Chains A and B, each alone.
Chain A
Amino acid sequence: MTDSLVSLIRAVEDADSSNRLLEAVENLAAARLEGAIPTLISALSYNNPGAAVAAVDGLIHLGETAVPFLLEQLDAHNYTARAWAIRALAGIGDPRGLVTLLGVATADFALSVRRAAARGLGMMKWHWFPDNLLEIAQAEALEALLFVAQQDEEWVVRYSAVTGLESLGLAIVQAHPDWRSQIQSQFEQIALNDDSWAVRARVWMAQQRLQTESIVQPRLEEQPSPLSETDWQMIIEKLYDRKGQERLVFAEGDPRRYRELVVAIAQNPKPV
């Protein structure tokens, strides 16, 4: 540990007022040091919203290195901390968070958690996925977001699902025009029927964006996936566990029937 990291962490631990704590967490987050991750994670449970926001921002900037710590935090019993961890996970868009986000977007008890997860599903780093896993992953995200946009009882969660559908719609456009028309017809329904004018307005904005940005430029500057084969295998297994629980039956010829094939391909990804 460097001296500056030690002193930044000590400042968080020694903070004796909520303003000092906020300042210390902000400084620690701004340092962008991996060694700060455990302390930033504990700041999620301090019941200080300002400090939690700063910690979430810091964790999002640290990106995939923070993901294993965040996944661990999801098992904790501190409800608020779990919600913040999901928010960070959603902001990072790491595929290891995909199945968690799918689960909580549709079923979590707290609206703040469903809200963050719906946003995160749309912002997933789809370009990291191996081709054959991409299809099932996006199909699951689409299904979850369509459900949430239509069914959630809280306006802000439906609003969030609309942003997720917009991002997903922009990401899938070339491979799956049929999915895009599913998103568009859902948008038309919401624009006419949603109880909340804020949700309708967000749909109008999403419709405009889908119309004007019909061709997504490949994002050249983005780094390739840092995930290991083991990571992908775990994601696949979790996805299939989830599908198994849903008891969905795929039609004959649906590529998602061929689990072993998908696993084999993901274990031997194409050279990047």
Chain B
Amino acid sequence: MANEPDIQSDSLLTVEQAIANLQGADLGLRVYAAWWLGRFRVDAPEAISVLIAALEDEDDRTEVGGYPLRRNAARALGKLSDRRAVSALVQALGCSDFYVREAAAQSLEQLGDRSCIPVLIRLLNDQVPGTLPAPEPPQLAQPFDAILEALGGLGAVDAIPLIVPFLDHFIPRVQYAAARAMYQLTPSPQANHYGDRLVKALANDDLQLRRAVLADLGAIGYLPAAETIAQTLAENSLKLIALKGLLETQLQHTTPPNLSQGAIKVMTLMDELL
């Protein structure tokens, strides 16, 4: 609630200036410009080109060898719906920096291009040479949650046998990502088993985890979760976003302006959270 971005000051940057900054000498301005182009959905062809080029940047390095500019460029490209970015993002899945790989997996899911599935599967199996683990504990080998979510979102049914073991991963966040993917990859009645797993996870004691599960349930639009979402101990803003995901899924089943019983139920719950 207190950490909303200051949009007014960000708007002072222009598209031309941001594109110029991204190619300039000032590393701080470059990183910021990459974020800005994604935040304001600047999908001009020139913006895409400079962001793709930034995925190979060698100038901006952290002490432990991370690539902050590449991370921001990868995140921005996911928001810009231009498939020219796909092959560069697939390359970025092999980057030594854990967080570049995480951002690339998320962006590839957003772009909806299935050509990255084989590389995602190799990454899930930790079979991509030169990829370093996360720098902080528990030093995961790969950004498993982002990879699992991408496989689910992209409909990678062949990956199911590889995903199942992650339902019991020692990190809850990874378990939930696996359940989310399994829900998306499993036919309807059996899929609810995985949806219900996520609903149960809303009772977790850890607020961070409850927030993550809210996002997962919103992403899969799992209607039976509606009431539990509304009652979860978390910020109303996040519950509303999750319920919006359920509502939008309901709207796909009816012709406007008709509303399903499910849609009406979800909106009634949303009204109470405003």
Q: Do A and B come from one complex?
A: yes
Q: Which residue numbers of A lie inside 8 Å of B, CB to CB? A: 19, 22, 49-50, 53, 79-80, 83, 109-112, 115-116, 118-119, 153, 155-156, 159-160, 163, 191, 196-198, 200-202, 204-205, 207-208
A22 and B274 CA atoms in complex are apart in Å by: 21
Are B4 and A109 closer than 8 Å at their CB atoms?
yes
Nearest-neighbour CB distance to chain B for A87, whole angstroms, equals 8
B147-155, B191-199, B251-259: which one contacts chain A?
B251-259
Distance between Cα atoms of A80 and B2 in the complex (Å): 6
Assess whether B1 is in contact with A79, with CB atoms less than 8 Å apart.
Answer: yes
**B residues less than 8 Å from A201 (CB atoms):** 247, 251, 259, 263, 267
A154 CB to closest chain B CB (Å) equals: 9
What are the nearest 7 A-B pairs in CB distance?
Answer: A204-B257, A50-B233, A119-B274, A160-B274, A198-B244, A79-B2, A112-B1
Indicate if the CB atoms of B259 and A205 lie closer than 8 Å: yes
Partner of B259, one of A19, A153, A155, A204: A204
Contact across chains for A155 and B244 when beta carbons are under 8 A apart: yes
Interface of B is mostly: helix
Which of B4, B233, B264 touches A22 (beta carbons < 8 Å)?
A: B233
A198→B247 CA distance, assembly (Å)? 7
B12 to A: closest C-beta gap in Å:
17
Structural contact, B2 and A197, CB atoms closer than 8 A: no
B residues whose Cβ falls under 8 Å from a Cβ of A = 1-2, 4, 7, 205, 207, 233-237, 240-241, 244, 247-248, 251, 256-259, 263-264, 267, 270-271, 274
* A contact residues around B236 at 8 Å (CB): 49, 53, 112
Interface of A is mostly: helix
Q: What residues of A have a CB within 8 angstroms of the CB of B274 in the complex?
A: 115-116, 118-119, 156, 159-160, 163
Which one, B233, B248, B264, contacts A198 given CB within 8 A?
B248
Contact status B2-A159, CB under 8 Å: no
**Contact (A156, B237) CB under 8 Å given A19-B205, A163-B271, A204-B256:** yes
Q: How far is the CB of A26 from chain B (nearest CB, A)?
A: 11
A80 to B237 Cα, complex, angstroms: 13
Query: Which of A115, A198, A205 has the most B CB atoms < 10 Å from its CB?
Result: A198
Q: Give every chain A residue within 8 A of B271 (Cβ-Cβ).
A: 119, 163
Known A-B contacts A49-B233, A49-B235, A163-B271; A110 and B263 likewise in contact (beta carbons under 8 Å)? no
Set of chain A residues within 8 Å of B263, measured between Cβ atoms? 201
Residue of B nearest to A160 (CB): B274
Task: Determine the distance from Cα of A111 to Cα of B267 in the docked complex, in whole angstroms.
Answer: 19
Chain B nearest CB from A160 CB (Å) reads 5
Shortest distance between the CB of B257 and any CB in chain A (Å): 4
Query: Which residues does chain A contribute within 8 Å of B258, judged by CB atoms?
Result: 204
- Chain B residues, Cβ within 8 Å of A110: 1-2, 4
The reply to whether B267 and A202 contact each other, CB–CB distance below 8 Å, is yes
Chain B residues with CB under 8 Å of A79's CB are 1-2
